[in-house]
Structure 1
Amino acid sequence: MTVGVPAEKVDAAVENKLREAQKNVRLDGFRPGKVPMREVKRRFGAAVRNEVLADVMRESFLEAVEQEKLQPAGMPGFEATKNEAGKDLEFVATFEVFPEVELASFDSIEVEKPVAEVTDADVDQMIETLREQRAEYQEVDRAAENGDRVNIDFKGLKDGEAFEGGSAEGQNLELGSGQMIPGFEDGIVGMKAGDEKDIDVTFPEDYQSEELQGQAVVFQIKVHKVEAKQLPEVDGEFMQAFGVDDGDMDKFKAEVRKNMERELSNAVSGKVKEQVMDGLAGQHEFDLPEPLIKQEVDRMRQQMAQQFGGGQQFDASMLPDELFKEQAERSVRLGLVMRAILDKHELQADPERVKTRVEEIASQYEQPEEVVNFVYSNPQQLQQIEGAVLEDQVVDMVLESAKVEEKSQSYQEAVQRNQQG
């Protein structure tokens, strides 16, 4: 876009800036604020004009795109094509615009919706899982069995030589956990504290270290301690940890069931939403503005750097663009499609659904009312929740037209599928 700016607007702004500079300029031979204007112009005129041009071009560009009803995507590049004092300024702004998104019909989107319920057996299994999570270990004087925890030293040898990453001292290992390569944990079963033994194992063909893929090695094992797992009783103290203070088993099971039903609902919603988003992304093909892709790549890179860094400094520039580009393009495409849907249907976040979502989040804290008040008094937090609710409203709208097939599943299948998706 070529933009013209009257000479008087630019020259007046330059003159004002020079007068401001004159008040603060200090030069040998002149008192502060008394440097002649011709000297100020000679020394600083070019730099001041360039500074003014940057501001004028930015302001004029914003006025022009508003007048032409354009939607720039990202920051423009400016190049002054006519730039002389006393003459009209002319510059070219190069920029990308948001694409026109022509919405497709939603009736070609196919969704498989899991249908499941929480059974009594599922509740009992979950209680066992909770017991496992709170298990303690007690030292025993017997041979190690699957499910026991052993404390061991081990040293791996390949062709009689120790290899990198193949040794440790005083490491705890739960037998049967599958934490180590096949054959390692099985070889320790039957050993007692004080026992030493060599175990022959072969690394898997797809092992992460290429040098060890498919290689036969020997591990020298020394067992220091064998501990048996002790599961807690489901008593009043155990139930109290889950908010049931009176030790009533029926209440406890009802609380566990309620949490499982919430998890199941979230899992099903998440799986359905993912399929809807895949459908929307696949339906709409249009050119994506590069600045938006770059912004999304940068956001994803910073997010991963924070995860990798674990609170320490991590150089985000080590992560190449290619690592994020495909996901970033999908995210930008979906963002533009969602924006088009919201605009076309004039959707606003439903206040009741927002209130329900806020209360659901708050219910997981000890002082729910404080959390609710905090969210509603914090515009940024509230905006995030409104955005999530708007996404749900779009999903509901798409589902009204999409081909939805229900598929019966167990609780475990429904939750697992969502985790894998």
Structure 2
Amino acid sequence: MAVFEKREKNTVYFNIELNSENFEKAVNQAYLKNRSRFNIPGFRKGKAPKMIIDQYYGEDFFYEEAINSLLPDAYEEAIKELNLEPVDTPHVDIDEIKKGEPIAVNIHVDVKPEVKLGNYESIELEKVEYNVTDEMVESELKNAQEMNGRIIDAGDREVQNGDLLTIDYAGFVGEEQFEGGTAEKQELEIGSNKFIPGFEEQLIGKKKGEEVEVKVTFPEEYHAEDLQGKDATFKVTIHEIKTRELPELDDEFAKDVSEFDTLEEYKNDIKAKLEETYKKQEKIDLENRVVDKVVESAEVDIPEGMINSQVENEISEFEYRIRMQGLDLNKYLELTGSDIEGLKEQVRPMAEKRVKADLVLEAIGNAENIEVTDEDIDAELEKLAEQYNQENKDKFIADMKKGDLNFLKAGITNSKVIDLLISKVKFN
């Protein structure tokens, strides 16, 4: 039986008792499990009675393992009985153990905080709409044209903006050539701004085979500290000048790059897809603004354990994203000159914001009696099966239902709460 003691902010203090008979059984089980390790004079290894081991190592030798075997179930039962939602690892203190007497265990643990909601019934926001313009369509069309262009030799003409060059270069500060400033057969697109400011522009108007001296000043925040703010000269040799030959924007182009027969149909399709994309973005932005508004007006004292846990989640998600790009976390930290503690501090504000948002949305869900039905869960699992391209959709859904669906229910609840909040918005 659990006995509630007190609550201080988000920390709950309570006591439980471990039955003395169960404890004695657990001590004996610990002895049976570990006796093969003991080599005591006068006994074959693993055959010494418990009382002999107690004499050698103390009567309390097996107490810790016995407590550890009993405490998890007793703790789970206690938090159910007291209706607590722990958000961190409990702190446990055990009174002196006396033979034949119940064992008193004192526990304190951080629990989910109470949320004081602001006025979420009346939300005022500025109406923001994303409208697709002709310029946006033309820009997409231009991108498709460039993607389908051919790279051809530019002949003997001078370098122009947009050309693709193959160059050798060597960099000097004064008379001294500096490390990392040399390359051969380097490809460079003029206008890409991938080189130091001023470098690419000085190659415009030059010809193939020409040797050019390019004078630049390194930025004050350049990654190589020994070059920051310094004047440098690059000796550049131009080997090749190539250009993109772009296809004509006509009906034939539309047939080549799309399912449409005319350029007009293709442009209409581009516009429709852009409108669909921007409508989705418009909805996401509105959802974010609504959540920010209700979170801003709410009051909640978040336990450090919840924030720390979310920080770890943010780091794991970040690590997964960069791994998908072929970069390992340690390598990323090395390249950015950071460490894991610095990264944690960097993501901490976002982690705290997410925790608060989840707590506030959950509190609104409870206040509005929002429920998640079996139909809601089935619909969400259907979406997940499609998202992850599951061939055997029924098996995927059945397997998911065998696991813990609390994360799924929380996501559905949040979505329902956000929809409810949006329905209450008054636009300026």
Normalised by the length of structure 1, the TM-score is 0.79
Partner of 2:92: 78
- Quote how far apart the aligned CAs of 1:101 are: 0.9
Structure 1 residue aligned with 2:183: 168
The alpha-carbon deviation at position 37 of structure 1 amounts to: 3.9
Counterpart for residue 416 of structure 1: none
2 CA distance for matches of 1:76 and 1:252? 62
Contact kept in structure 1, 2:219 and 2:229, CA below 8 Å: yes
Q: Which amino acid aligns with 1:400?
A: S
Higher relative contact order (CA 8 A, sep 6+): 1
Q: 1:392 to 1:180 in 2, by over 3 A?
A: farther
Q: Which residue of 2 aligns with 1:122?
A: 136
Moved more, 376-385 or 103-112: 376-385
**Aligned: 1:218 with 2:241:** no
Aligned to 2:274: 260
CA distance in 1, matches of 2:380, 2:266: 25
Cα distance 1:22–1:383, how it changes in 2: closer, same or farther (>3 A)?
closer
Say whether the 8 Å CA contact 1:149–1:174 is kept in structure 2: yes
- What SS is found at the alignment partner of 2:364? helix
Please state how far the C-alpha of 1:397 moved relative to its aligned partner: 1.9
1:198-256 CA distance string (max 9 Å, x none): 112223445455544443322221111111012345666865665x2x64545534443
Task: Please state whether the residue corresponding to 1:153 is helix, strand or coil.
Answer: strand
Q: 1:171 to 1:374 in 2, by over 3 A?
A: farther
Local SS of the residue matching 1:114: coil
Give the residue type in structure 2 aligned to 1:342: G
The more displaced of 69-78 and 229-238 is 229-238
Of 315, 318, 342, the residue aligned with 1:301 is 315
Aligned residue-pair number: 400
- Please say which of residues 114-123 and 213-222 is displaced more in the overlay: 114-123
Q: What does residue range 12-411 of structure 1 map to in structure 2 within 5 Å? A: 12-19=25-32, 21=34, 35-42=48-55, 46-106=60-120, 109-141=123-155, 142-232=157-247, 242=258, 244=259, 247=261, 249=263, 251-307=265-321, 310-311=325-326, 313-315=328-330, 318-320=339-341, 321-348=344-371, 355=379, 362=386, 370=391, 376=397, 379=400, 390-405=413-428
The DSSP-based 3-state class of the residue aligned with 2:90 is strand
1:17 is displaced (CA, Å) by 3.8
**Please, which runs of 5 or more residues in structure 2 have no aligned partner?**
1-13
Helix, strand or coil at the partner of 1:151: strand
The 1:62–1:377 alpha-carbon spacing in structure 2 relative to 1, beyond 3 Å, is: closer
* 1-structure distance, mates of 2:392, 2:171: 52
Three-state SS of the structure 2 residue aligned to 1:220 is strand
Q: Which runs of 5+ in 1 are unaligned?
A: 406-421
Q: Per-residue CA shift, 1:257-314, capped at 9, x if unaligned? A: 3321221112212222222232233222322111111111122223334455654654
- Note the alpha carbon deviations across 1:99-157, whole angstroms, 9 max, x for none: 11122112565533422333455333312212223433212212111111111222222
1:3 equivalent among 5, 16, 31: 16
Deviation at 1:344, TM superposition (A): 2.5
Q: Which one is further off, 270-279 or 22-31?
A: 22-31
Secondary structure at the counterpart of residue 126 of structure 2: strand
Identity of aligned residues (%): 25
